[in-house]
């Protein structure tokens, strides 16, 4: 195995810039790694056949003396929810098989402009509906820590690609935890930015008022570097914030000095007792908090009485918005068309296409959402759920009057077995218990590895939440804890992951 | 069917059961969604986000039609529409 | 189809009271569409565009595309709201109206539902005899148009019997303002006339504002007419029908009359009216039923999560209010008195639709009477002959220039009519036509005297007759002189000169 793939994006970027390695070599190393392990992991739905050309172009430009960004020449895996002009975009669905977008998502265009090398499109639950990537129409992704287990979802492909050293960086999207929960189960880092902090233009919409695109990586600094590239105002997305953002990479570098922990007030939520979490998840969480306290942080119990209504509100809002967003898949302008035997009307063709083209989870949510918006139910369903968002925002406001960040375990359990919960949607939905409030309120959240659960040796993540627009705080705090833990572990957590494809 | 999805009998049976989940969610949410609480439609409040009325880059007809399941010349083609002019 | 029974109109009005309501869709003539930066086909310069050439991703509902609101469309909507005497909402928002139809790219229309931009207004309309009627306005809201379907393979080109349909999305996303009236009571016998006058007034208002091309035949203005009847003395409103597709002023009048007669016949026979959409057929002058309204008309409206509320600033509203042109009725009142026309003269101009032209001609420097005579006289006569609009034949500045030539004595009325023909034929300005055709009155007495001498030489007895007091004998000489001058002499001057000669 080439050592190149073990480097962080920051390290690789520095070596590329110093001329110690070329982008073609780095890209090839990752393509080789994908060839060696992705048969087992299945993180990718598509490998970019233009990747080496793009890498060669960066090398040429660098040789010509052009000043390039810190990540120029670094490979990037792209969640298939993001549309790309040089690769197909399916959002994990049969209904979009082979779809070619005439435009790039803004985050893809910005990554391209910064010289990142799009290496492939990653697997996901169909239209980002799921927490295990088992709902992909193209088969599940496997957790690099244990191939029989789920990599989380919906962005299981992006997290697994990074955890399996198939790419140093990936793009994800997070509607209810789809960046943070996969980070948790794969021992990687994931950030859901403040709503509006990163453009949604070109992200195939699931629930427009909840969706947010963000970075997936192995270190907090790498996430910050990528966030700096993709973030900022985009006039193509009306919900994009016009704010001028600080450098998140700089925040991560500052955090790594650990000074930020001195006097930092960390809130823990009274209403999320340990009993709600797998033992090893709870103990890893408390151990991480103890490390922070040892550095001068103060842990404060706060109350967030409305968080428990989050899941219920989320599963009213999401299906409603999704049922409308997914109406465009009707076989007229793009995507699959299935015509009944002997023909039929447009209505027949649309209905059969959607029956055949959508998987069961997608159909379930569309039907539920259609029902929730139907005449006479709107106020009770969607309207009431939107009120819960107000209450959760108030909980956050009250909490952040007392503390700098809130900490929770990123998810209730470690990675479960593939197939274990697929027939129990309600159990599956509880995976997002701790991540959903951030989407409902629009605040940013980060998940970083806190260790391994003692009972199963699988990764556990700790989530930090900050007030809206305070994403930089998450990078400072996340990088500080990361530095502490990596020191304590004697190296990154992923060093302890089983070797993949070693003998193949 | 409003969702325009043809469903098998099995699917209908399964879904009918799951509508209960929605009803549970409503019951849960209505515990706190009282009339005095304002709904939040956008997590970060903004208003008056506009675009100047200036023509930008458009798709070529070829780009517009490149993913079409069926086309006829420069237009998309669909089978007979049941119903009436809108 | 069974023959439709119609009741005599006067009989119908004896038995029933008609209640009207209108929904008028106005296509704005902005440069770009409501939610995309594609060129707007409802703008004059784009209306000839080939199919699927005026398209941005969101107009096709492409995956990942997002809408962004056109600022100018919002301003136009506010201006229109103000011109309709409406209040402008302090805050309003967009909503999704969900339904599947192949001309609707996203399978939802972005419209406004519970929060329109303008509400509660009224417009005064003037009937042909000068009667003023106040039409109450319920609301005016912003929305987007749908694409265009062409039905192929059937005998009629209509949807019934068509084998397939073709879709052009150029029109998808064209900015619309939908103006909805409240129920209009008391129209009685004048219901058809009021319908026509209302649509004409809306056309005049949007033209005056310059916010729409306002051409009914192009669909820039589309009227849906609601008609219901209730038996005399009954409080409760009858069941209404909504007649769509009425795309000329005359058709609006006819369609309302037809519906009153049709519904009256059914009700008088003890039948019931079905609440339904009906389609107007210009060729046969009849309406036919569309889809009945039912519970399936469940549009599942919910606030558009991709767009933010619109809050027109008070200063903007006042700025737009100050810039409003006069209301059509007020303007007519002012012009009538300024021009000093009697009722018949003024109504003649109004009914011919030539108010703008006459006004512009006067502004260009003629008397009111001269402007009126040209437009309602010779120009209208030619227009009728050729079955075109009078306004399309010649511009007001040319008419004024022509009249000025008459006033200066360069042209006689008869010559001026010839010049008009030349101008209409595209031979240039009136002066250019005069020069090219050599039509100017010969005002050189020397030339006239030479011609008179010649004529007198040919008819030597004439001079003696005149000297004898038989002045009428001059006629024969005048005729000969006019003939010699090819009609370009002032007959009165010729007569004067002849009499002078006789007196010598
Ligand atoms: Mg309507
Ligand atoms: Zn409308």
Percent of chain C past pLDDT 70, that is, above it, reads: 98
Joined together, the tokens standing for residue C116 give 């329109």
Highest mean pLDDT pick, A419-428, C314-323, C478-487: C314-323
Chain C residue with minimal CA distance to A108? C64
Q: Phi first, then psi: give them for residue A131, nearest 5 degrees.
A: -130, 20
Angle between helices C191-209 and C328-339 (to 10 degrees): 90
A504: confidence class by pLDDT, cuts 50, 70, 90: very low
* pLDDT exceeds cutoff 60 at C274: yes
Joined together, the tokens standing for residue C395 give 């511009």
Which of B15, B20, B26, B43 best probes binding to A when mutated, by most A CB atoms within 10 angstroms? Answer: B43
Which residue matches tokens 């009307």?
A: A345
Residue A344 CA to residue A102 CA, distance in Å, equals 30
Of B5, B14, B22, the CB nearest to A354: B5
Residue A262 CA to residue A292 CA, distance in Å, equals 9
A125 CA to centre of own chain: 12
Q: Of the candidates C76, C140, C119, C130, which has an alpha carbon nearest to the alpha carbon of residue C329?
A: C130
What's the confidence (pLDDT) of residue C482? Answer: 81
ipTM for the predicted complex: 0.97
Chains touching A (at least 3 CB pairs under 8 A) are B, C
* pLDDT exceeds cutoff 90 at A423: no
Distance (Å) from the alpha carbon of A377 to chain B's nearest alpha carbon:
10
How far is the CA of A380 from the CAs of A302, A383, B27, in angstroms? 30, 6, 9
Of A195, A313, A347, the CB nearest to B44: A195
Residues, beta carbon < 5 Å, ion ligand 2:
C 178
Which residue matches tokens 């006479």?
A: A376
Contacts of A176 in chain B (CB under 8 A): none
Contacts of A327 in chain B (CB under 8 A): 4
Cβ contact A200–C57 (<8 Å): no
C 293-312 residues inside an 8 A Cβ radius of B: 296, 298, 300, 303, 305, 307-311
What's the confidence (pLDDT) of residue A502? Answer: 55
Decide which of C485 and A303 is more confident: A303
Torsion of CA A485, A490, A491, A493, to 10 degrees: -60
Decide which of C482 and A499 is more confident: A499
Of A337, A371, A468, the CB nearest to B70: A337
* pLDDT exceeds cutoff 70 at C1: no
A379: confidence class by pLDDT, cuts 50, 70, 90: confident
Q: How confident is the model over C326-364, as pLDDT tens digits?
A: 887 888 889 999 999 998 899 889 888 899 899 999 999
* pLDDT exceeds cutoff 50 at A90: yes
- Give me the residues paired with residue A299 across strands: A266
Omega prior to A465 cis, within 30 of 0: no
What's the confidence (pLDDT) of residue C447? Answer: 82
* pLDDT exceeds cutoff 90 at C146: yes
The Å distance, Cα A288 to ligand 2 centre, comes to: 57
Task: Average the pLDDT over each of A262-266, A288-292, C6-10, C416-420 and give the range with the smallest value.
Answer: C416-420
Contacts of A388 in chain B (CB under 8 A): 29, 32-33
Chain C residue with minimal CA distance to B5? C100
Contacts of A335 in chain B (CB under 8 A): 67, 69
Which of A346, A359, A384 best probes binding to B when mutated, by most B CB atoms within 10 angstroms? Answer: A384
The Å distance, Cα A50 to ligand 1 centre, comes to: 49
Pairing label, strands B71-72, C164-168: unpaired
Distance (Å) from the alpha carbon of A177 to chain C's nearest alpha carbon:
19
Chain C residue with minimal CA distance to A95? C63
Chain C residue with minimal CA distance to A91? C63
Chains touching B (at least 3 CB pairs under 8 A) are A, C
The Å distance, Cα C23 to ligand 1 centre, comes to: 6
C459: confidence class by pLDDT, cuts 50, 70, 90: confident
Contacts of A203 in chain C (CB under 8 A): 64
Residue C464 CA to residue C382 CA, distance in Å, equals 46
Cβ A58 vs Cβ A66: under 8 Å: no
Average pLDDT, chain A: 96
Angle between helices C460-467 and C445-458 (to 10 degrees): 100
Which residue matches tokens 């055709």?
A: C437
CA-based torsion, C234, C237, C238, C242: positive or negative: positive
The Å distance, Cα C59 to ligand 2 centre, comes to: 17
Residue A177 CA to residue A198 CA, distance in Å, equals 16
Distance (Å) from the alpha carbon of C280 to chain B's nearest alpha carbon:
11
What's the confidence (pLDDT) of residue B83? Answer: 55
Residues, beta carbon < 5 Å, ion ligand 1:
C 23
* pLDDT exceeds cutoff 50 at B85: no
DSSP annotation of A310: H
C248: confidence class by pLDDT, cuts 50, 70, 90: confident
Q: Which run of H or of E encompasses C367? A: none
Average pLDDT over residues A342-352: 93
Torsion of CA C191, C196, C198, C203, to 10 degrees: 170
CB pairs under 8 A between B and C: 137
What's the confidence (pLDDT) of residue B79? Answer: 93
Q: How confident is the model over A143-177, as pLDDT tens digits?
A: 999 999 999 999 999 999 999 999 999 999 999 99
The Å distance, Cα A417 to ligand 2 centre, comes to: 51
Of C71, C103, C146, the CB nearest to B51: C71
C391: confidence class by pLDDT, cuts 50, 70, 90: confident
Contacts of A315 in chain B (CB under 8 A): 21-22, 25
What's the confidence (pLDDT) of residue A380? Answer: 77
C2: confidence class by pLDDT, cuts 50, 70, 90: low
* pLDDT exceeds cutoff 50 at C406: yes
The Å distance, Cα A310 to ligand 2 centre, comes to: 36
Contacts of A313 in chain B (CB under 8 A): 25, 29
Average pLDDT, chain C: 91
Chain C residue with minimal CA distance to B48? C310
Cβ contact A327–C295 (<8 Å): no
Percent of chain B past pLDDT 90, that is, above it, reads: 62
Cβ contact A373–C300 (<8 Å): yes
* pLDDT exceeds cutoff 50 at B86: no
Distance (Å) from the alpha carbon of A201 to chain C's nearest alpha carbon:
6
C294: confidence class by pLDDT, cuts 50, 70, 90: low
Residues of A belonging to the active site: 79, 154, 178
SS3 label, residue C64: coil
C451: confidence class by pLDDT, cuts 50, 70, 90: confident
Average pLDDT over residues A209-227: 98
What's the confidence (pLDDT) of residue C292? Answer: 64
Tell me the residues of A at the C interface, defined by beta carbons under 8 Å apart: 82-83, 89, 91, 96, 99, 101-103, 105, 200-205, 207-209, 235-239, 320-321, 323-324, 327-328, 330, 332-334, 346-347, 350, 370, 373-375, 378, 382
Ligand nearest to the CA of residue C178, numbered in listed order:
2
Residue A118 CA to residue A78 CA, distance in Å, equals 7
Q: Of the candidates C322, C349, C324, C321, which has an alpha carbon nearest to the alpha carbon of residue C335?
A: C349
């Amino acid at each position: 195995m080439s050592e190149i793939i073990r480097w962080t994006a920051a390290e690789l970027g520095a070596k590329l810039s110093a001329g110690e390695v070329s982008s073609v070599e780095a890209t090839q190393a990752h393509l080789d790694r994908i060839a060696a392990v992705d048969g087992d992991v299945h993180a990718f739905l598509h490998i970019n056949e233009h990747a080496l050309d793009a890498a060669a172009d960066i090398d040429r430009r660098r040789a010509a003396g052009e000043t390039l960004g810190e990540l120029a020449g670094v490979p990037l895996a792209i969640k298939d929810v993001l549309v790309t002009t040089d690769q197909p975009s399916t959002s994990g669905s049969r209904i979009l098989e082979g779809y070619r977008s005439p435009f790039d998502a803004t985050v893809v265009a910005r990554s391209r402009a910064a010289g990142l090398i799009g290496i492939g499109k990653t697997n996901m639950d169909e239209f980002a509906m799921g927490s295990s990537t088992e709902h992909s129409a193209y088969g599940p992704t496997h957790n690099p820590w244990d191939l029989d287990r789920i990599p989380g979802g919906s962005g299981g492909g992006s997290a697994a690609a990074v955890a399996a050293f198939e790419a140093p960086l990936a793009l994800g999207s997070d509607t209810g935890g789809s960046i943070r929960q996969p980070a948790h189960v794969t021992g990687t880092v994931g950030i859901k930015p403040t709503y509006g902090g990163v453009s949604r233009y070109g992200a195939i919409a699931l629930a427009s008022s909840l969706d947010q695109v963000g970075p997936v990586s192995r270190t907090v600094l790498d996430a910050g570097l990528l966030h700096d590239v993709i973030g900022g105002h985009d006039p193509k997305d009306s919900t994009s914030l016009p704010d001028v953002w600080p450098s998140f990479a700089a925040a991560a570098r500052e955090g790594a000095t650990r000074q930020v922990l001195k006097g930092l007030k960390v809130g823990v939520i009274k209403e999320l007792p340990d009993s709600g979490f797998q033992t090893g998840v709870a103990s890893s969480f408390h151990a991480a908090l103890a490390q922070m306290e040892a550095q001068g942080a103060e842990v404060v119990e706060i109350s967030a009485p409305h968080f428990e209504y989050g899941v219920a509100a989320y599963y009213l809002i999401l299906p409603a918005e999704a049922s409308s967003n997914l109406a465009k898949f009707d076989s007229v302008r793009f995507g699959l068309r299935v015509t009944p035997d002997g023909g039929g009307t447009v209505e027949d063709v649309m209905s059969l296409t959607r029956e055949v083209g959508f998987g069961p989870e997608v159909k379930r949510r569309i039907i539920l959402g259609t029902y929730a918006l139907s005449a006479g139910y709107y106020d009770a369903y969607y309207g009431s759920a939107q009120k819960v968002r107000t209450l959760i925002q108030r909980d956050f406001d009250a909490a952040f009057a007392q503390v700098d960040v809130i900490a929770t375990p990123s998810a209730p359990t470690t990675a479960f077995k593939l197939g274990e919960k697929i027939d129990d949607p309600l159990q599956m939905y509880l995976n997002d218990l701790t991540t959903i409030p951030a989407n409902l309120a629009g605040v940013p959240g980060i998940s970083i590895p806190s260790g391994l659960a003692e009972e199963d040796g699988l990764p556990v993540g700790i989530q930090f939440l900050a007030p809206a627009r305070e994403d930089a705080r998450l990078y400072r705090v996340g990088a500080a804890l990361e530095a502490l833990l990596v020191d304590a572990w004697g190296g990154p957590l992923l060093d302890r992951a089983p070797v993949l494809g070693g003998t193949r | 069917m409003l969702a325009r999805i043809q469903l098998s009998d099995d699917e209908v049976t399964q879904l009918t059961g799951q509508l209960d989940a929605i009803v549970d969610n409503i019951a849960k949410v209505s515990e706190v969604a009282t009339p005095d609480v304002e709904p939040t439609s956008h997590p970060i409040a903004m208003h008056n986000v506009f675009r100047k009325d200036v023509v930008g880059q458009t798709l070529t007809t070829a780009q517009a039609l490149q993913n079409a399941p069926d086309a006829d010349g420069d237009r998309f083609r669909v089978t007979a529409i049941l119903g009436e002019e809108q | 189809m069974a023959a439709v029974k119609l009741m005599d109109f006067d009989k119908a009005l004896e038995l029933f009271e008609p209640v009207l309501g209108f929904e008028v869709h106005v296509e704005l003539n902005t440069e770009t569409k409501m939610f995309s930066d594609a060129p707007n086909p409802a703008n004059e310069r784009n209306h000839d565009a080939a199919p699927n050439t005026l398209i941005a991703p969101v107009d096709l509902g492409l995956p990942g595309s997002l809408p962004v609101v056109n600022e100018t469309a919002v301003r136009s909507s506010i201006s229109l709201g103000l011109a309709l005497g409406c209040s402008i909402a302090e805050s309003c928002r967009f909503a999704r109206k969900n339904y599947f139809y192949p001309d609707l790219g996203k399978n939802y229309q972005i419209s406004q539902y519970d929060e329109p931009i303008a509400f509660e207004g009224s417009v005064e309309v003037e009937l042909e005899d000068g009667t003023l009627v106040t039409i109450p306005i319920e609301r005016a809201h912003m929305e987007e148009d749908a694409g265009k379907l062409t039905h192929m393979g059937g005998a009629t080109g209509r949807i019934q019997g068509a084998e397939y349909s073709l879709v052009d999305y150029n029109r998808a996303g064209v900015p619309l303002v939908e103006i909805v009236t409240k129920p209009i009571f008391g129209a009685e016998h004048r219901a058809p006339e009021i319908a026509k006058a209302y649509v004409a007034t809306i056309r005049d208002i949007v033209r005056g504002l310059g916010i729409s091309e306002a051409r009914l035949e192009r669909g820039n203005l589309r009227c849906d007419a609601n008609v219901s009847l209730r038996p005399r003395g009954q409080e409760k409103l009858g069941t209404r029908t909504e007649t769509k597709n009425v795309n000329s002023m005359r058709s609006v009048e006819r369609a309302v009359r037809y519906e009153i007669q049709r519904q009256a016949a059914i009700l008088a026979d003890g039948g019931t009216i079905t609440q339904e959409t009906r389609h107007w057929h210009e060729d046969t002058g009849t309406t036919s039923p569309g889809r009945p309204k039912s519970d399936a008309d469940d549009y599942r409206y919910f606030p558009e999560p991709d767009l933010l509320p619109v809050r027109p600033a008070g200063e903007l509203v006042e700025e737009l209010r100050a810039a409003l042109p006069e209301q059509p009725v007020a303007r007519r009142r002012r012009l009538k008195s300024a021009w000093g026309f009697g009722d018949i003269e003024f109504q003649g101009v109004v009914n011919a639709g030539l108010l703008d032209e006459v006004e512009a001609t006067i502004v260009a420097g003629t008397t009111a009477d001269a402007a009126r005579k040209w437009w309602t006289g010779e120009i209208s006569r030619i227009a009728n002959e050729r079955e075109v609009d009078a306004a399309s034949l010649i511009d007001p500045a040319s008419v004024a220039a022509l009249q000025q030539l008459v006033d200066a004595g360069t042209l006689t009325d008869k010559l001026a009519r010839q010049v008009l023909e030349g101008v209409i034929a595209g031979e240039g300005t009136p002066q250019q036509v005069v020069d090219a055709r050599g039509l100017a009155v010969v005002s050189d007495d020397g030339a006239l005297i030479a011609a008179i001498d010649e004529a007198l030489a040919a008819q030597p007895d004439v001079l003696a007759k005149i000297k004898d007091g038989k002045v009428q004998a001059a006629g024969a000489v005048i005729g000969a002189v006019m003939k010699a001058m090819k009609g370009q002499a002032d007959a009165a001057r010729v007569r004067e000169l002849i009499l002078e000669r006789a007196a010598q």
